[in-house]
Structure 1
């Protein structure tokens, strides 16, 4: 455990993972963490949630923060008396992620069953068939984009199928979802939030007229039957499930394949022994987490974290990507080691807000990697790694594209 006495109150710092340097955040995180695992951010920092905000980069401190009930996620309460120029749709601004118990507990219980281990196991044949269909389109010898040709369409197809989004609408839905993470472009984010929420509102109305057996139909039945969901909650849950149901997996697949290609010995080991893939997922998630910074929290009361006093009302940002590279938790953290026990990695979060779709994301990752390495063992980068483009988003860490040669 980190000794709090070793860490005095830090000077305000600029977070290293920003839209200006999305390709190489980890050395900057290491510098910040070595000074103090909890940093007060400069008020004008690119990732600052506002004056007096804090960034958590240490593993022990991140794990504590993610589970600490004194760090609230009730953004409606936080921003209630703060004027804003933003025009986010309420269904996007206030999802289940932006609530505390007991409201969060009630909402999460309504959808947990759909992402249980058993439910995901029943979905595995469908996930495998979608994966094979996508890989069937790849040339035996030629150039592909792993992001556009597998990492994005696989989880988008699966979550849309689960929810009941028609196939003809899925490409547009994916665009709106990606726009929600356009860092530094609030107008685009706001516009996308309304486009996506309006679309799902119309889809809910259509499914009421012609119900089926998709997850969205089940949520509508809860709303219209026992009134356990308000109409606003129904819409916000739909938005959250659609967006969160594919963004993390899409980023993870791109990051994981790139990490393997940059570590050929580890890649060769998985090709020789594909049965190791399920156990390798945690290390791949740890090495380059698909979530750079967890969603917004604030101190509902004063607390001490990592030896740093955080006053009531201060925004707190937890960086799982930084915590997963903490040498106090993972030896030689900048080395990819698929034999490592990385089961404590925070790529899916921790505590009551841990990623609801983690079992589904794991299944998609395992199935996709297994099929990809079996069918294209000679896969290699088509461009130098330093020429790859990373998404400019503060929450997610993922590639814009990953050009590959298949043989």
Structure 2
């Protein structure tokens, strides 16, 4: 069978026969010899026409998704046993093996962070046979070392169990030498100046949502605000339909908190299939939004590969939807349970920036992982190339070896911004942290001015959940109704 291969810049189309190739080229208004035997003066226009042809793009999408499904299925088969105990490797001392499953932490007392603090009663570094087998670091000293040494503790794999996702996550999983250009594409929409320009629009969203339930005297904070607010902001940033909110939230939450590798994979595939449509749309008609920036970006003069585009959009989607909702939930829970601290912010709103850092210090969100890229030693423990190591960021700010009196909440704590690792550390620090801070600030300003006195509904309690991201599943709040 003869094959006609046409290099089209960002993809390669293979025609299964001469006749089918001639037919498709004719439909596109391009002569075969224009590509195979010569380069006409208007080749750039012709290539652009092919790149923007919806049939070519649809075929590319189908081919890419099919490849991801095949790869994901193979990975899922290899990780199905992750729920069983892995055999302890020979380099792991028996005394450092502890049966710990981060996705099954006991949250029955509605305080997942106190459950995480129980890790301080274990060795500073230990190995668990759960989730494919991996190390866990519990102390600030080691957490900082792992996060700030990407050449040894690589971001090549950040999700447990290893192989549970079918795609590389950029820029989170980029090597140190390639990280900067990918990050820069996203960062230009999230500079302090750009975020400040969004502030009043974000404020309008917060006011509209709060006013929608204020008169009731109650709300289920997670569903009524924590999920609605950041996704409304995010969907404006990327210019996606607000009507897609529910399904996007469902998929992202399952991907970061599910206990089953098959569920994680399926959620990623849902997200990527959804994004395929918008990749084609933004190629056809770019707009003034973050998705268009990514889809049409170039690094060193070359367009991003389809895989890189999907990878970056997936990261943006997960970061914009789930993480901020979790932070908002824990912030509201803390203030509902601590009226004296709430009153401090009402009396002195200028404390809000430091209060945010103090609340973040006590309520870490992300429990991502790293891949040991070479044999190394950490805290006197030998680790081998290929090992996985989990880094619970929330433990950094409550380690009594690192910070004095860590469980005391002090909105005037000196150097509060450096007291936690909620947004990560090193080159992979969260690119959206400025936007997240602004959203939390606006929430506090508008909520406390309207609902200064609120509590967890008597007789009910918050429900917290564990996973790659700590979160709140339910937070019933009540206050005196104005009517």
User: For this structure pair, what is the TM-score category when the shorter chain's length is used for normalisation?
Assistant: 0.7 to 0.9
Q: CA deviation digits over 1:196-239, x for unaligned, max 9?
A: 11111101112222332111112222159943411111111111
Q: CA deviation digits over 1:155-188, x for unaligned, max 9?
A: 1111111112122222222222112123212332
Give yes or no for contact 2:148–2:425 (8 Å, CA) kept in 1: yes
Partner of 2:127: 40
Of 117, 136, 139, which aligns to 1:58?
139
Is it true that 1:395 corresponds to 2:468 in the alignment? yes
State the 1:31 CA deviation.
4.5
Distance 1:377 1:108 in 2: 39
Distance 1:367 1:310 in 2: 44
Partner of 1:3: none
Distance 1:322 1:135 in 2: 32
Give yes or no for contact 2:143–2:391 (8 Å, CA) kept in 1: yes
Partner of 2:350: 275
Partner of 2:26: none
1:132 to 1:27, Cα distance in 2 relative to 1, 3 A: closer
Give yes or no for contact 2:272–2:310 (8 Å, CA) kept in 1: yes
State the 1:271 CA deviation.
1.3
Partner of 2:155: 73
Q: Report the secondary structure of 2:424's partner residue.
A: coil
Q: Report the secondary structure of 2:467's partner residue.
A: coil
Q: Report the secondary structure of 2:304's partner residue.
A: coil
Give yes or no for contact 1:33–1:57 (8 Å, CA) kept in 2: yes
Partner of 2:96: 11
1:395 to 1:224, Cα distance in 2 relative to 1, 3 A: closer
TM-score w.r.t. length of structure 2: 0.74
Structure number with higher relative contact order (C-alpha < 8 Å, ≥ 6 residues apart): 1
State the 1:339 CA deviation.
2.1
Q: CA deviation digits over 1:358-405, x for unaligned, max 9?
A: 0000000011011111110121111456x32123x4211111121111
Partner of 1:297: 370
1:107 to 1:384, Cα distance in 2 relative to 1, 3 A: farther
Give yes or no for contact 1:147–1:401 (8 Å, CA) kept in 2: yes
Partner of 1:106: 181
Partner of 2:28: none
Partner of 1:4: none
Counterparts of 1:209-224 in structure 2, within 5 Å, are 209-222=284-297
Give yes or no for contact 1:145–1:401 (8 Å, CA) kept in 2: yes
Partner of 2:380: 307
Structure with greater Cα Rg: 2
Q: Report the secondary structure of 1:181's partner residue.
A: helix
Distance 2:412 2:308 in 1: 43
Distance 1:379 1:274 in 2: 17
Structure 1: stretches of 5+ with no match in the other structure: 1-7
1:136 to 1:350, Cα distance in 2 relative to 1, 3 A: same
